[in-house]
Structure 1
Amino acid sequence: MIALLSLYVDMAIGLVMLFLLLSLLVSGVNEAAVRLLSVRSKFLWAYLRDTMDGAQEGARSWLPATVRGVFTVLPFLRDPRPKFDERPSPAEAKPMPAGTTAADDAMTKLFYERVREIDHGKTGKTSISNIPPGRFAGALMEMAAGEKDGVEGLLVKLKDLNSPLYGHLKGVWESAQRDMERFRQGVESWFDTEMQRLSMLYKRYVKWVVAVLGLVITLLFSMDGIEFTKTLLRDNAYRAAVSAIAGSAEGTESLKETCTPGVDPYKCVTDTLSSPAMVKVFDHAIISLRIPEDGDPSVSWNGGMWWQRVTTLSHWPGYLLTFVALLFGAPFWWDLFRRITGIRGRQ
């Protein structure tokens, strides 16, 4: 009974480790793409352009409204970020030029002028991907100070510009009863709520990206979760046979039957145990890595065998199992791994 329980525990740990490693790979690829394409920064400034200047008549919103926009428009086709400026913000905020329209992005440019101290250059565009609520409120207060009538003057300019920000600030200004300190606190609270809403929207889109990456990685590595489970069980049975070598001659005979004819059983044991199930499962990737006993590691194209596995319907239930498992994410599998193994986190 104890041996059977140990067998299932080993199988569970092996499966969790596989899904954890693949989930980390998916997360790593996603994070690398996000950083390389500056998706977080573009997402933030798309929101700021929509909120401050609004969309032009007949034009689409800067924020992506579909999953396709997340994959193509925002990363590659439309960059909402202002140009990077290494100069510090001027001592006094400039008033908005007369006759400006939403097409001029006047509010976004003035706002960037007030927050560019926290910026650093990246491919000619701003890299700001997070603006603290206090910094946002301070920038708006500075912009209002540059107007003749203060906050009232800024609201008039926003109304003339038909900016969506006008309605939000108008409500905060009235609620603060035209008290500057309460207005600043109200703007902070409003912007913090907006950033939480934006984060939820971003995570919703990221789930689709992670799902696509999970499917791609599952197929590129042709990860059949069911086949991997069977391999784990065979490995456990093989270890039991290995332990029988020292105990009886029958154990040696059983190993001879499983090894290639004419091969020394002890060498067969060494070769097999040096390639456990966790290593064997990666041999079916479209590009495989070989680490021979002698010589340097080699990378080889494995397209023929990979395509045969991918087009074999009997493997697809295993692919589906792996794909669904990856949707749970690395934190889920790490937590499950800690529960099974008893590893404690930092207190």
Structure 2
Amino acid sequence: MLSVYLDLALGLVISFLLLSLLVSGVNEAFVRLLAIRSKFLWAYLRDTMDGSDADGKSWLPAKVRDVFAALPFVRDPRPKHSDQPAPPEPGALPTQENKADDTLVNLLYQRVQEIDHPKKGRTSIANLPPGRFSVALMELAATEPDGVEGFLGKLKAMRSPLHGHLQGVWEASQRDLDRFRQGVETWFDGEMQRLSLLYKRYVKWVLAVLGLLVTLLFTMDGLEYAKTLLRDNAFRASVTAVAGSGQNAYDELKARCTGGDPVPCVTETLSQPALVRMLDQALVSVSFPEQGDPSLHWNGGPWWDRLTTPSHWPGFLLTYVALLFGAPFWWDVFRRITGIKSRR
């Protein structure tokens, strides 16, 4: 009896794990295709270093809808890619009257462009090491005659939001250059952690939408799938009992299967796992015949009937809630059930 429940648990965990991986894979594909991480980073840098744009709007929108509608398609905050090494001497900061758009971001990119590679004419840098950022700022400060003091004065004259952060770090370091560099590195590392948490919070909404779409696309009924697993287990048990019994048990199995010979019936049933039969309920299914190439089938009518049947909605809800836990959660559950040890 214990093996029955163990098979049920493993079947559910594996199905939720595979669907969660599908959701994560689709999300990662869109993130890489649209360079969301890189745009997210440079939108933050523009807000922090140069402030809002010419229209007074933040480069990093506050609403989830604006982030995933504006950044991928409307506004590209990334600097233009350059395949040249960083210039030996960084450009000087202009005065407030001659301030060009996004001056600080462009000067920062000049100092870090050596770790970049092209992607549609824009930078692909999506992770800026704190140490590289602090060194780049120190190089910019070295261009001013008064050093850090002059650099902070220029930032104040440009009304850069970065001035307040660096001024506090400069005062806390007691005007020591090495401690100032370490303080900038620590501050930027904390900002990147905060930005990562903000990005993950936005991505959770996207994963929730993708999880709903995957559940409805495959019409994966978690409750029906559990019942199918139990039926398969019972069928295997009955086949095993028939194999060890006499002719009377064989006649009973023959009566349960349509046709004269129950062997094809048993073979077909055991060769189609419950998960495969459940995925056949998707909008588009794939069949693998004994001979020939795989073929695609459009299941528009049955899929819609299944989707609009209220008795399946509790199962859809169960699957959707399970997908919200994510692939790492289900992998950890699978590892605990099977006893697979983590290498970490």
Please say whether Structure 1 and Structure 2 have the same fold, judged by a TM-score greater than 0.5: yes
- CA contact 1:56–1:102 (8 Å) conserved in 2: no
Q: Are 1:289 and 2:286 an aligned pair?
A: yes
Q: Are 1:140 and 2:137 an aligned pair?
A: yes
Q: Are 1:10 and 2:7 an aligned pair?
A: yes
Runs of 4+ in 1 over 6 A off after TM superposition: none
Instruction: Mark the CA change 1:277 to 1:96 in structure 2 (over 3 Å): closer, same or farther.
Output: same
Question: Using the alignment, how far apart are the partners of 1:225 and 1:101 within structure 2?
Answer: 63
* 1:338 alignment partner in structure 2: 335
The amino acid of 1:33's aligned partner reads F
Question: Using the alignment, how far apart are the partners of 1:73 and 1:188 within structure 2?
Answer: 30
Identity of aligned residues (%): 66
Q: Give the unaligned 5+ runs of structure 1.
A: none
Question: Using the alignment, how far apart are the partners of 1:100 and 1:227 within structure 2?
Answer: 69
The amino acid of 1:156's aligned partner reads G
Question: Using the alignment, how far apart are the partners of 1:318 and 1:253 within structure 2?
Answer: 36
RMSD: 1.5
CA drift at 1:154: 1.3
* 1:191 alignment partner in structure 2: 188
* 2:322 alignment partner in structure 1: 325
Question: Using the alignment, how far apart are the partners of 1:322 and 1:76 within structure 2?
Answer: 31
Q: TM-score with structure 1 length normalisation?
A: 0.95
Instruction: Mark the CA change 1:100 to 1:52 in structure 2 (over 3 Å): closer, same or farther.
Output: farther
CA drift at 1:251: 3.1
1:138-174: CA deviations, max 9, x gaps? Answer: 0000001112221111111111111110000000111
Q: Are 1:49 and 2:74 an aligned pair?
A: no
More deviation, 60-69/251-260: 251-260
* 2:151 alignment partner in structure 1: 154
Question: Using the alignment, how far apart are the partners of 1:320 and 1:101 within structure 2?
Answer: 58
Question: Using the alignment, how far apart are the partners of 2:97 and 2:332 within structure 1?
Answer: 54
Q: TM-score with structure 2 length normalisation?
A: 0.96
- Helix, strand or coil for the counterpart of 2:280? helix
CA drift at 1:84: 0.3
Q: Are 1:236 and 2:211 an aligned pair?
A: no
Q: Are 1:119 and 2:97 an aligned pair?
A: no
CA drift at 1:125: 0.3
Question: Which one of the candidate residues 176, 180, 187 is aligned to 1:179?
Answer: 176
- CA contact 2:95–2:157 (8 Å) conserved in 1: no
Instruction: Mark the CA change 1:238 to 1:177 in structure 2 (over 3 Å): closer, same or farther.
Output: same
- Helix, strand or coil for the counterpart of 1:245? helix
Instruction: Mark the CA change 1:81 to 1:113 in structure 2 (over 3 Å): closer, same or farther.
Output: same
Instruction: Mark the CA change 1:263 to 1:84 in structure 2 (over 3 Å): closer, same or farther.
Output: farther
* 1:213 alignment partner in structure 2: 210
Instruction: Mark the CA change 1:266 to 1:110 in structure 2 (over 3 Å): closer, same or farther.
Output: same
Instruction: Mark the CA change 1:35 to 1:291 in structure 2 (over 3 Å): closer, same or farther.
Output: same
- Helix, strand or coil for the counterpart of 2:118? coil
Question: Using the alignment, how far apart are the partners of 1:242 and 1:102 within structure 2?
Answer: 81
* 1:252 alignment partner in structure 2: 250
1:64-101: CA deviations, max 9, x gaps? Answer: 21110232111111110000011111101110223457
Q: Give the unaligned 5+ runs of structure 2.
A: none
